[in-house]
Structure 1
Amino acid sequence: MTTLEEPAAPTGLRIDIPGFRGELVAPGDPGYDDARSVYNGAIDRHPRIIARCVDTADVMAAVTLARTRGLTIAVRGGGHNAGGLGVWDDAVVVDLSAMHSVHVDPAERLVRVEGGAVWADVDHATHPFGLAVPSGWVSSTGVGGLTLGGGIGYLARQFGLTIDCLLAADLVLADGTLVTADADRHPDLFWALRGGGGNFGVVTSFVFRGQPVRDVVAGPMMFDIKRTGEVLRAYDRLLAETPDTLSGWFGFFEVPPAEDFPAELHRRTVAAIMWCYNGPAADVPALLAPMRALEPLLDGVGEMPWPALQSIFDPLLPAGMQWYWRTDFVDELTDDAIAIHVDYGSRLPTPLSTMHLYPVDGAAQRVGADETAYAHRQARYAQVIVGVDPDPANLEPMTEWARAYHDALHPHSAGGGYVNMMMDDEGPDRVRASYRENFERLIDVKRRYDPDNAFHVNQNLSPDEAVR
């Protein structure tokens, strides 16, 4: 029989969770430290209990138990959140990682995904049918977390954000009941789920519309760091003029000493673009000619299967690294902003630290700002600055670099930030700014579906928030 430590009992007495079929892991149990670890190795939190759910009934039981006992609830899907919000001190962690099945209906292009899946699970299931669901850039990212925050990735210009392909979601509410939210059932909740994060319940499954993607033309171009300004301007012009089928993010990159890269580039900091084109390979030479005219130091663009692109950075960024993030949305790349990028991008504090600009124009912009909770539909780019390193000793200096870089750039931004890339120390004003005119409507939905703020371990939309 599965049991849970009684929080009010200092003697460590344990109580039953009727019907719970999964595994409960508590402090002192074998595997507790592994169970509480998340992607960001800088996060070191100690939950009261980790409820490894195997089905929706387990999720309902865990939520009900936590509410009955007055315990904090944290929800873990892929465990990939920037701020490590899938775990919390003294909380009940509703761990969905064992719930990762994916079912594909190729005739209808429907993809049903359980809440604990990662994007590698989805790509594995959809690729044989020539389908993909727009996602991010690393295949170990959790489907649930990325989707609920919006879902920015390589396919955003062509097919929109992940939420723009979301058709329905099953979720367990704070009272332990299960509902389905879609365009017809709980439409206000469905609106809020598309960008509002984990504020409204535990999503146990998603239904997406798959998009036609099989092989893509993709890969990196690397340029001398001294040419950052002209590369950024050319990149910005090119995306404004080319079809939505072409995308690619810009970033700074210290070339690792790996066989995949020429020896003369090893340990050199470069300005890089990671391209992705979902269309005929014959189109690519003409499309990328303006960038190739800038004489890249390396041109690694070629045909590859979509899952290969999605997983290409997985070995470079394994779980357990130290991370610190800062994010903004950007409407335009001004000369002053580019000068700041040149300054900070040329002095990365650690080999893996970086800044990325992700295009979110094209199809992502053609959805109205009030059609989903994700509000920054006017933005051309989502921008993230990250300090990354395996050594905890480097966390402080790379955090200081990321904050200083962000502080210098923020006046040139659109305000707010991409909630999936926000840390838990940024405060409620940043959350409000991220949702812009949608904020008050989100608070209204929160008050109706989670009036006691049971789900507050997130970029929180407090039901007690005063309307301004």
Structure 2
Amino acid sequence: MTTMIADVGHRSQETGVAEIGDFRGRLISADQADYDTTRAVWNGAIDRRPRLIARCIGTSDVIAAVRFARGHDLEIAIRGGGHNVAGTAVCDDGIVVDLSAMRGVRVDPANRRAWVQGGALWGDVDHETQAYGLATTGGIVSHTGVAGLTLGGGVGWLMRKHGLTVDNLVAVDLVTADGELLRASEDEHPDLFWALRGGGGNFGVVTSFEFRLHAVGPTVLAGPILWDANDAGDVLRFYRDFVRDAPCELGTVVRFGTAPPLPVIPEELHWRPMMIVGSCYAGPIEDGEKTLRPLRAFRSPLLDLVGPKPYAVFQSALDSTVVHGWNYYWKSTHLPELRDDLIDVIAGHAFSASSPRSYVAMFHLKGAVSRVAEGETAFGNRQASHAITLDAVWRPGEDYGDRDTAWTKRFFAALGHFREGVYVNFLGGDEDPDRVREAYGDSVYDRLVDVKTTYDPDNVFHHNQNIRPV
């Protein structure tokens, strides 16, 4: 390690670690005991070795780390929650600007605003905002990072009622490729603010987000309904008709795979192939019960766990099914309304994985998502009905990887002519570069290129789903 970092700054004689001027956080290199745990990200299939990890404790640290990296011609990766399947939060032989210690959340309940640091997780946000019965659209797993999910768009249980996460973003503080601190909003650097609402981590390091909040909970009607896999085709056809006219308060996610061994699921159902419809009703519980009654009565579900529960608890219900350190490989696309021939493709492929942990997740969009005009933010494909992600999952040491990676590719190919773009946060690490353009559409992508060329002409921030400057 001495020879590796001798050229990136002087080393402290006491610790032997490279130093960065004005940096008050912690610098971690390969000769330190916790280097391997610190460089690990959520996807255990990612194994990259950065030259230095700069664990920041404030915005000044981020500025210092970016300037240091630029001054020494180092690759830069940005880590918020480290949850992206592509593993872009860590790089080989460069510097990781690590915000994971910056998890502060401040709530103004009177004005329904929250200020969130760039390393916070969605569980941090929900914990603080739900103290006031408030929330904004976040992910469906509480250990997802706020920064990555937001900058890519932000799908979650509340999006049909309250819009995507980016639709609730008011302003950000951002460190540019030149190490300068900017505030971006509708009034300040509006071109940059537009690009940040869906354009990913291409434009800088966001150290703080300001969100608009809404009255949600603290108790909501939510939970999954489980049917046997053999009924998936019929249930999907009913579900298609059911959600077509469902109120925007109802958010649903369909999961195809085996029933996870959660305490709330009877042991005799564990690992049994299931179609599961998860739901969350962002409105009065009695209205939610009336809305969900037809779905809950269809085809005698094997298990119905819908009921009143704390919103923050429901937000973390899936955490143990997507564990840090497991191996993940995804393929994804947006889909139109579920025609019969599309349903046949989904039902015909969804249960063919080898690993009991692999699954398919399908998010119902529309509602407030589609009411925002295309191009108003950088998030693309707003008129799609569903986003589907085909997720191969296997634990370290298991031999399912090749088989289930092949399964996702076969399934994805079978969806070919139904595809309508893709959610950029669901893109993996081995995608065709054209898929980034597919996530936005030509006009939005070209405008993103213009903003990228203005704020990062050297493509310093390219460890992401990259938008190349001119």
TM > 0.5 = yes
**Superposed CA offset, 1:348-394 (max 9, x none):** 32112111110111001111111000011111111111011213432
TM-score by length of 1: 0.95
Structure 2 partner of 1:290: 294
**Unaligned ranges ≥5, structure 2:** none
> What is the aligned partner in structure 1 of residue 233 from structure 2?
229
SS in 2 for 1:16: coil
State the match for 2:337 in structure 1.
332
Amino acid at match of 1:248: T
Alignment of 1:31-50 (within 5 A): 31-50=34-53
- In the TM superposition, what is the alpha-carbon distance from 1:222 to its structure 2 partner? 0.6
CA drift of 1:62 comes to 0.4
SS at match of 2:377: coil
8 Å CA contact 1:79, 1:142 repeated in 2? yes
Unmatched runs of 5 consecutive residues or more in structure 1: none
| Partner secondary structure for residue 28 of structure 1 | coil
Q: What does residue 414 of structure 1 align with?
A: 420
Secondary structure at 1:42 match in 2: coil
Q: Give the structure 2 partner of residue 104 of structure 1.
A: 107
1:152–1:161 CA contact under 8 A, matched in 2 = yes
The answer to whether the 8 A contact 1:239-1:247 is kept is: no
Instruction: Point out 4+ residue stretches in structure 1 off by more than 4 angstroms.
Output: 8-15
Matched, 1:439 2:445: yes
CA contact (8 A) 2:11 2:19 kept: no
| 1:341 CA displacement | 1.2
Which residue of the partner structure matches residue 456 of structure 2? 450
Q: For the structure 1 residues 15 and 228, does the alpha-carbon distance in structure 2 shift closer, same or farther, using more than 3 Å as the test?
A: closer
Assess if the C-alpha contact under 8 Å between 2:5 and 2:18 holds in 1. Answer: yes
Please identify, of 347-356 and 83-92, the stretch whose mean Cα deviation from structure 2 is larger: 347-356
CA contact (8 A) 1:328 1:410 kept: no
Q: Percent identity?
A: 47
TM-score (norm 2): 0.95
**Aligned partners of 1:59, 1:362: CA distance in 2, in Å?**
37
| 1:137 alignment counterpart | 140
SS at match of 1:326: strand
The number of residues matched between the two structures is 460
Matched, 1:248 2:252: yes
Tell whether 2:428 aligns with 1:423. Answer: yes
Question: Are the equivalent residues in 2 in contact too, given 1:103–1:111 (CA < 8 A)?
Answer: yes
- Separation of aligned partners in 2, 1:337 and 1:114: 41
Taking structure 1 as reference, are residues 310 and 189 closer, same or farther at Cα in structure 2, changes over 3 Å only? same
C-alpha separation in 2, matches of 1:370 and 1:451:
22
Distance 1:305 1:14, change over 3 A: closer
- Cα distance in 2, alignment partners of residues 231 and 132 from structure 1: 31
User: SS at 1:371's partner residue?
Assistant: coil
Q: Could you give the per-residue CA deviations for residues 282-317 of structure 1, whole angstroms, max 9, x where no partner exists?
A: 223331232223211111100111111110011232
Aligned residues of 2:10 and 2:18 also touching (Cα < 8 A): no
Structure 2 equivalent of residue 365 of structure 1 = 370
Letter in 1 for 2:186: A
SS of residue matched to 1:198: helix
Q: Which of 178, 181, 197 is residue 181 of structure 2 equivalent to?
A: 178
| 1:401 corresponds to | 407
**SS in structure 1 at match of 2:254:** strand
What is the Cα deviation at residue 263 of structure 1?
3.6
Separation in 2, partners of 1:267, 1:423: 26
**1:150 corresponds to which residue?**
153
Secondary structure class of the residue paired with 2:202: coil
Q: Is the 8 A contact 2:17 2:29 kept in 1?
A: no
Per-residue deviation, 1:233: 1.7
CA drift of 1:8 comes to 6.5
Q: Is the 8 A contact 1:156 1:359 kept in 2?
A: no
Report the Cα offset of residue 15 of structure 1.
Answer: 5.2
- The answer for the alignment partner of 2:62 in structure 1 is 59
